[in-house]
Structure 1
């Protein structure tokens, strides 16, 4: 039979209350209603169940039952029946406004995630250390985009521990970090090693030297990164190996800020090489203990890569031993 499905009048009058859990959680009713919203919007648009069923390519009986169940779950009449056609009640018009907005948002989200995994133009959420932002990461992305010109990047610059947390939460696909993490929920690969230098003011007693043992700076005041930064942890460990605990004059968030404070005479610092030489400081090779930090890439274990993430991961791994500028 064509037209609106026949509904027993008594059944229509004795509609059940929404089948929610005793707590009446919004999440429960959302799970109940969600599959029926597109059916509702389709019938509201055509004002005809048969026509809507044909457009949506679903059996008319399925569509009719879904509308009845939707009204039962809400406890209100959304449609007024007029023979073979229907029209929205005031409650139905109110409901339709929000339903159309919700369906449009779902459509937008679906298009966005499909775009993000596109092999040619998808997105990579990539985190990296502050000290790698001026030269290393821009060069990596430039080289990668030679063969993948349309891949998009969402970049996060932060210290190591914060990036690992964002990696674990799913905000990042990959991150360059130091020290290289060792945790069961992460996969990490060492990519390169970066030598650290003792940076002193250019009028410092050690400034004329090319090489120095770290123990020779035991009486100096240090400027360092804040606790929680990988470079701070390495600095503390190297000083401990050299037999002293550093006296800290300043704790910051940027290596180049520390280099500027060294130039101003506030202290000395253990830092990676600068992208551009800075006047006012001398940078000394530390001969003992061996002053270096490992740089690695990390990602979550057991999480499938999208095609653009897989491509960028392969690219990074191909740069082992050649990640950092000479």
Structure 2
């Protein structure tokens, strides 16, 4: 196969990269097969394609590139210098495609596939490990890619296709997401151990209207819930410190830097007292969310079914 003249190519050198890739991709395996055997007939037999199809694919590939990839030597073909250069890159590209295909097939395997699962920081110490332990009793080979983050960041990753499922609060209400309420978690007013309110067991949130609050940063679900509960109690919280993690907030409370509305700790922390809030009702809903219209792999479907079966029994204790 010799093409001494290239009077016209399908794309100019300035053509869009996406266009040239779309043209070339179906022909790369054909090219690599002929380059490996140096024989169109033999390559066609090995690849189980008609010889005429293979010959046409090579001609069009050379036309698209605008260079000769082969020269004929008797009944065989030999790579030109340009063909040898092209072959190296093609073989690497095809190997990468094969690796990627193997990886996604493995991730979708019902017994050993992978679930990309996001959850709130506050659920990482006890809730999520307990859930995974219970799920893997019946699905021991399923693998997990775990992501801890605040709610809005996880929903962004869900929309970007980086997560299959996430546990979050508040339960999102968005047209592009599906969300199901699983449980709720009581919130407590955490005060320093030497605070005037520390001798109480219960408190109305309005009684803390003059206190300085330590809260999570704006954008966190718990911050939004805190602001909403304080508004319902008739005041706007006076925020002294903002953080990114609830146990850091407890440390700030223990240091006497303010009070905080927080879910129960995994382990009791010295230096603070946690009061039951009687009014307004202080709780946050925990739900699972996924992208609407997404096609679940078998391991994702199994884990989703498991989470939904835990409604009302998601949280420890």
Q: Smaller-chain TM-score range?
A: over 0.9
**How many angstroms apart in 1 are the aligned matches of 2:93 and 2:137?**
39
Instruction: Determine if contact 1:191/1:296 at 8 Å carries over to the other structure.
Output: yes
Match of residue 214, structure 1, among 176, 189, 205: 205
Give the aligned partner of residue 56 of structure 2: 65
Q: Deviations over 1:150-197 (max 9, x none)?
A: 111111111111111111111111000000011111110000000000
Question: Which residue does the alignment assign to 2:19?
Answer: 28
Structure 2: any 5+ residue segments left out of the alignment?
none
Structure 1 residue 20: Cα displacement: 2.6
Residue 185 of structure 2 is aligned to residue 194 of structure 1: yes
- The secondary structure found in structure 2 opposite 1:286 is strand
Post-superposition shift, 1:61? 1.1
Q: Output one character per residue of 1:97-120: Cα deviation in whole Å (capped at 9) or x when no partner.
A: 100000000000000110110000
Matched residue of 1:147: which SS? coil
1:76 corresponds in structure 2 to 67
SS, match of residue 239 in structure 1: helix
In the alignment, structure 1 residue 168 sits paired with structure 2 residue 139? no
Cα separation, 2, equivalents of 1:304 and 1:92: 41
The structure 2 residue matched to 1:138, chosen from 129, 142, 157, is: 129
| Post-superposition offset of 1:17 | 2.7
Kindly state the Cα deviation for residue 48 of structure 1 after the two structures are TM-superposed: 1.1
Q: Secondary structure at the match of 2:36?
A: helix
Runs ≥4 in structure 1, deviation > 2 angstroms? 12-18, 20-23
Q: Is the 8 A contact 1:16 1:72 kept in 2?
A: no
How far did residue 130 of structure 1 move? 1.0
1:125, distance to aligned residue in structure 2 (A): 0.7
Q: CA deviation at 1:60?
A: 1.0
Query: 2:251 matched to which residue of 1?
Result: 260
Task: Find 2:215's aligned residue among 203, 224, 245.
Answer: 224
Counterparts of 1:183 and 1:39, CA distance in 2: 46
Matched, 1:86 2:77: yes
In structure 2, what is the Cα distance between the partners aligned to 1:15 and 1:22?
13
Q: Which of 89, 95, 111 is the equivalent residue of 2:102?
A: 111
- The Cα shift of 1:49 comes to 1.1
Whether the 8 Å CA contact 1:16–1:73 is kept in 2: the answer is: no
1:325 has 2:303 as partner: no
Match of 1:251 among 218, 242, 254: 242
- Structure 2 match to 1:52: 43
Contact 1:78–1:92 (Cα < 8 Å) also in 2? yes
Which residue of the other structure, out of 296, 315, 320, is the alignment partner of 2:287? 296
> Which residue matches 2:148?
157
Shift of residue 57, structure 1, vs aligned partner: 0.9
Contact 2:227 2:236 in 1 (8 A): yes
C-alpha contact 1:47 1:86 (8 A) present in aligned 2:
yes
Of residues 302, 307, 313, the one that matches 2:304 is 313
**Native 8 Å contact 1:17 1:74 kept in 2:** no
| 3-state secondary structure, aligned to 1:112 | helix
1:178 lines up with 2:146 in the alignment: no
Once the 2 structures are TM-superposed, how far is the Cα of residue 18 of structure 1 from its aligned partner? 2.6
Structure 1 gaps of 5+ residues are 1-6
